[in-house]
A and B are shown apart, each in its own frame.
Chain A
């Protein structure tokens, strides 16, 4: 009897212990963690929206913040500036850049979130998804990863030297403490990884999607940016054919008047291929980007004299450039930058909308590739003129009078600068594609090619010593 009792107690203890252990091992019921975040189509969709959330750079104040996209490259190119004393970016003082570390971390936030979706979706059976949705989700996530990797390539890797070992630190896994140490890849590997993602996205991406979500067309537009930057072999021809595909797809059309796109239509414009939708009621918050353009909140971002001069005889000058900034003592020759927000008006959903890809860029990249590939200058001119006409320009003489490829390339660049400045770094990439002599002439503070890119933030070397070398010319 006693023995039986003991056996019973031992058995009960054992049973209790194993049930306790089960409880101890159970993933949290009330929180989403790495092991239970993505389990089916719906959760994959929600996690994918999280990648877009990172893409939109939603901050802890729940506002979308595209300052690095809009302001950073404008300062580097010389079209934008800071109202209260120049930023180091304005003089291409890359070591002291205020933005480069944000740019670094913002893009890796996108990459990590995308990797979470890509890894998670890969583990789910195909039949858990309706129709083609599994591939589409994967395509959108890979597009977003490619977008972020390309940003890192442009700003932190020697993208202009195809043989350079100084490429992107590529990541394809959701980060854990143990997989953080990782080396950077070569430039060639970086291009390959980005193009692999984009080819997948073009092949499997959704044909149509709201313009705040990626489609195969957005992937094609990004691929144009990537290929024109690399500029090797077939790249220009590919850019032209991608451009023609997008233009002829019928999905997009140039906005009749560019001003309407920025001031009223926003993402409703047929020209937008991919943009950022502000969070609800974002415009009433104090610390928002368009309030930093006008009337200046905690920061003040202004248009430079260069930009004002560029738009001197252009109808866009009347609305993109406002009156002189009241802080001339700190930053002389600066003007309100009113591309997003009309002077004297309150921020709105439209003023807070950001744009990643517009059809105008597709036109201008197609024309640039045409010129660079030795194609017909008149084809290129007509593409440029079309874009300018939609911006209200009536005098095309400068473009029409450009008779050499180099002259037309410069005119093409000017139109990119006039049309696409302060959006997604497009004007900066376009500047750097010009010859070094031209770059130096247009932006005299650039004296060395190493100023095309930035040093990898020093913290990275401290926390991830495996990354390898710093970009040439910069110290760790």
Chain B
């Protein structure tokens, strides 16, 4: 109905508009005819006439144009005139008599300027020239009334309606083009009389255009919280994908690089997590197309034990390859940073609610570059190359290793002798046979790492004519990782073509594509930790020297093996990302625009895994031989198709009332197919390891899924007096993921803002340039959930080799949308001539205040099911964000801008009745069993924040006989007599003190990973042609579980460990040390696992990236016929200040999970990178 009324009104409006246009056209015709009919004389008479009135009369009667500074003329004295048919010159000299102005007439243009304080000596230059040309904006539209002044003189003209001007100037003079809202342009007068000038909009803080959902907006009009990332700050950094580059750039956006894998993924959380079983990554909108972050790894038939993860209690211990893919594959890796025009991060509900059910984790809108109208083709080329080094652990060298083993061997045999037990055989050998441990001196880390080399070349061409514009680019990136066998290759680019078919109809096409290839690590780095430095890497024949856990006195399940044995393995993924769209834009009216877009987001993923015959693989009872190698090939195809229609009505009713209304609808269909095939037993590791050579075919796997979403949305922005702003947004989403009764989710929001600085009483305050208060509230949702959760699902199985189907998942026909209520309040300000700008915001995010987040809840076993997903849990995130930017120096040659952002987020979990690690799994009902067997290193607990590290409590070393007696009396392990080496110097752990499990080791929360605050500092310093951009990131107060520490706490076996084992530990000579005594065969964690001894404060400040750029001066460039040229050097991770003992405190072992990922499993070392590059524009 609404649409109708509005349309009727606009019909009449259109008629009126047409008439108006006709009148103007006719009038223009008359004007042209009568232009020559202007008289050159003027008649005017009166007393105390304002100067402005005189000008009007001259303008009217003689057709002269006046060009002046209004402020100046306001100061002019009124004049008394009585002239009749007087020449213009006479009238003006009469008027300007006794006035503080100079004036000149040029071609019927009168320019009035302030009288200089002293008379300039008039110098006659030899050559004057008539310069003429056209001034246009970046879009090619002519600019009228641009002032064109010869620098240093009073001589000036202004451009006419077609943007044309004509002025006489001396050769060598500079012409200054200035126009309100545009950047002033200065051009030197040369031999050529034609001077065409393109003026660019002078973007002030408030006029900066921000990309929001389905449109753009000026920053000053925003009621929501939107952070924009300056692409110039990141374009020369060594990051290959955009997610990494976001680190430290925006308040409320926490970025953690998972590890140092080339092209690897970063964990991004905007204002905390909002779902347990769904994803917690923000929604990315790339050129209008939604892209969801996904872990694409397909379980392969074989995986390798990760001995480091083994030290913890997570389920990931047998998934070296799986977790390496998890952090090595990056959904956004196919996008080249150089193609990006803008990055806007929508944070609060007012900004995100337009994306409804997908928006609870925030929205990152990435817009890539487009062509410019009426611009001659601009070719830009960029090349950089660089190298990277691994920041690795410090391991014992052969001598240190032997010394540690000897000490531990001596200790254990001395103790055993004292206890009256026979000596330990391995320990005796270590003591007596100096060659027992091996005679080699192998630096395993050196063997598995290398200097990575990065090369990137990209090329783009853009331009446009009167009706079309284009942008096309091609990028090639190759990065070899710092670990052998790992690399990342990308071929990406885009093609965009916008065509104006008629004045009203535009066709806009865009295609972003990226082919990426990753070679992911097999786990050689982890294995290198444990390989004894006294063993050789290779046999004399060149084959890997094989050792197994038992030869190191370890259990098979610990999975130690020669890293070189893994080297022949293959873990490759090929990814194709296509994000394409075709839009029609039709201007129904000048203010009413219709847009219809069909777009697709296609992903083709291929994965190849090969575990070589030399390697052992994880199996049900520890490890087993790969039986001649195991290969898996897997493929996923995902097509997300979108069809969207929007109507935008942008209407300025009058000076005080402005409305922007957007209504739209969207239909989305997602399809995914996946399969994998595997084989075992290959004749050769290198050549004949294709699936067809396999002796044994392993069962293939396949899956398919699909879902669809129908949405309607609306946004209204209303500005009253440019001071009071209101935004109303709403979206309804209907998804096939929900039962018909609960299918529709409504996501409304509102935002209000008050631009206080526009109030008259504040306008006087010259130091205050902008002050805006804003508040918003609204609902958003998450829908990154499984497809068929509300159906009772049957799973195909087989019995007696015949197909069977069993009910496997209890459908919850009551399942509802997860929703998040977010409230936001903030203030934006600019002070002291906008030298200091900033925003302070507070938010409160309740997920899910309406229905609860989905999590597995136990159901009665008599139902034949154990759990169902039910809307139950809640996560609360509250936080404060501070963003400050200051121009510390604003000189002509030197400028220094400092941008600081600081965020704190406090999360709290509510309504989960049991500690959980896996929200899809309910675990045991017995709290002890649940804590010991179902929970890993990290858990969620009611009333606690997210990021809880879970484990045992290390109580220190037993130092007195009383402590020993007490511990022996209380610990069941001690009573069972299992703790062989119990005595002074032995570690104590916290115990359960009541109930059936009294005396067992107790697990509890041992660390909080949530930082107290985090943020970034970006310095941008420009000095003449140089610019330096340095970004520091920091995090304070979060804990991290340092897994390698568990191994370095004792000498459980003969594997190597890091140098932390050399830290002062208890011995007869050092009875005050707080680390336990070393006994060979005793890990000092017997019956426990990660403990408080392994949890460290991961606060840090690091130089995330730095780039030094030199822009070649214009005069050099013009000689070489180059438009722009820049050379730069850059680096990343150059230094980190931290007390954290591991190589890098910014790491996550599970970047996708909300609950997990707070352990340092040291699977891939962080890299320090240096690059050097050049950019040229022709």
Contact = CB atoms under 8 A, between A and B. Distances in A.
Interface of A: 2, 6, 13, 16-17, 20-21, 23-35, 37, 43, 46-47, 49-50, 52-54, 56, 58, 61, 101, 104-105, 108-109, 111-113, 116, 169, 171, 174-178, 180-182, 210, 212, 277, 279-280, 285-287, 297, 457-460, 462-464, 467
Contacts of A2: 11
B1117 interface: no
Contacts of A180: 859-860, 862-863
B667 A16 contact: yes
B706 A177 contact: no
A177 B812 contact: yes
Nearest to A114: B864
Given A28-B706, A50-B794, 20 more contacts: A2-B11, A6-B7, A16-B667, A35-B791, A37-B794, A37-B805, A47-B794, A49-B799, A50-B799, A52-B799, A53-B799, A54-B806, A174-B807, A180-B860, A210-B800, A279-B799, A285-B620, A286-B621, A458-B925, A460-B860
A433 to B, nearest CB: 27
A277 B796 CA distance: 18
A209 to B, nearest CB: 12
A471 to B, nearest CB: 15
Interface string B857-875: 0111111111010100000
A28 B705 CA distance: 8
A312 to B, nearest CB: 36
A30 to B, nearest CB: 4
**Residue among B740, B803, B805 with most chain A CB within 10 A:** B805
12 contacts: A24-B708, A24-B710, A31-B794, A33-B792, A37-B805, A47-B794, A112-B864, A277-B799, A286-B620, A458-B925, A459-B861, A467-B862
Nearest to B708: A23
A105 B860 CA distance: 9
User: Sorted from nearest, which 8 A-B pairs have the closest CB atoms?
Assistant: A112-B864, A33-B791, A464-B860, A30-B704, A49-B804, A463-B860, A175-B863, A32-B794
Contacts of A108: 861-864
A112 B865 contact: yes
Contact of A27 (B621, B791, B863, B868): B791
B828 interface: no
Nearest to A461: B860
Given A108-B864, A287-B620, A50 B812 contact: no
A46 B804 contact: yes
B502 interface: no
Contacts, number: 184
Contacts of A104: 861-862
Contacts of A50: 794, 797, 799, 804-807
Contacts of B798: 49, 53, 279
Contacts of B230: none
B736 interface: yes
B800 A52 contact: yes
A105 B802 contact: no
A104 B865 CA distance: 11
Interface in B696-738: 703-706, 708, 710, 734-736
A47 B862 contact: no
B7 A33 contact: no
Contacts of B795: 32
A105 B866 contact: yes
Contacts of A174: 792, 807
Given A24-B734, A34-B791, A175 B804 contact: no
A31 B788 contact: yes
A280 B801 contact: yes
B294 interface: no
A29 B870 CA distance: 24
A459 B734 contact: no
B814 interface: yes
Contacts of A467: 860, 862
A459 B803 CA distance: 33
Nearest to A182: B862
A115 to B, nearest CB: 8
Most central of A177, A180, A463 by chain B CB within 10 Å: A177
B711 to A, nearest CB: 10
B132 interface: no
B669 interface: yes
Given A31-B788, A50-B794, A286-B620, A178 B813 contact: yes
A315 B327 CA distance: 63
A177 B859 contact: yes
Nearest to B619: A286
B805 A46 contact: yes
Contacts of B1147: none
A24 B741 CA distance: 12
Interface centre among B7, B794, B811, B858 (most CB of A within 10 A): B794
A169 B797 contact: no
A52 B792 CA distance: 19
A29 to B, nearest CB: 7
Contacts of A182: 862
Contacts of A297: 621
Nearest to A298: B621
Contact of A175 (B619, B621, B667, B810): B810
Contacts of A17: 710
A212 B798 CA distance: 14
Contacts of A16: 667
Nearest to A49: B804
B799 A56 contact: yes
Nearest to B861: A105
Contact of B792 (A6, A176, A210, A279): A176
A116 B792 CA distance: 10
Contacts of B667: 16, 20
Given A37-B794, A49-B802, A463-B860, A112 B743 contact: no
A467 B740 CA distance: 31
A61 B811 CA distance: 24
B787 interface: yes
A106 to B, nearest CB: 9
Nearest to B712: A17
Contacts of A54: 806
A421 to B, nearest CB: 26
Which of A37, A43, A50, A458 is the most central at the interface, judged by chain B CB atoms within 10 Å of its CB?
A50
Nearest to B913: A462
Contacts of B736: 23-26
A34 B799 contact: no
B793 interface: yes
Given A34-B811, A460-B860, A177 B868 contact: yes
B793 A33 contact: yes
Given A20-B667, A24-B743, A33 B794 contact: yes
A177 B814 contact: yes
A315 to B, nearest CB: 33
A220 B232 CA distance: 83
A147 to B, nearest CB: 15
**Which residue among A6, A30, A280, A460 has the maximum number of chain B CB atoms within 10 Å of its CB?**
A30
Contacts of B787: 28, 31
Nearest to B865: A175
A178 B814 CA distance: 9
B867 to A, nearest CB: 10
A463 B710 contact: no
Given A47-B805, A53-B806, A177-B811, A29 B706 contact: yes
A326 B796 CA distance: 42
A363 B665 CA distance: 74
Interface string B30-45: 0000000000000000
Contacts of A32: 793-796, 805
A104 B862 CA distance: 7
Nearest to B667: A20
A124 to B, nearest CB: 15
B858 A459 contact: yes
Contacts of B810: 175-177
B864 A175 contact: yes
A13 B257 CA distance: 45
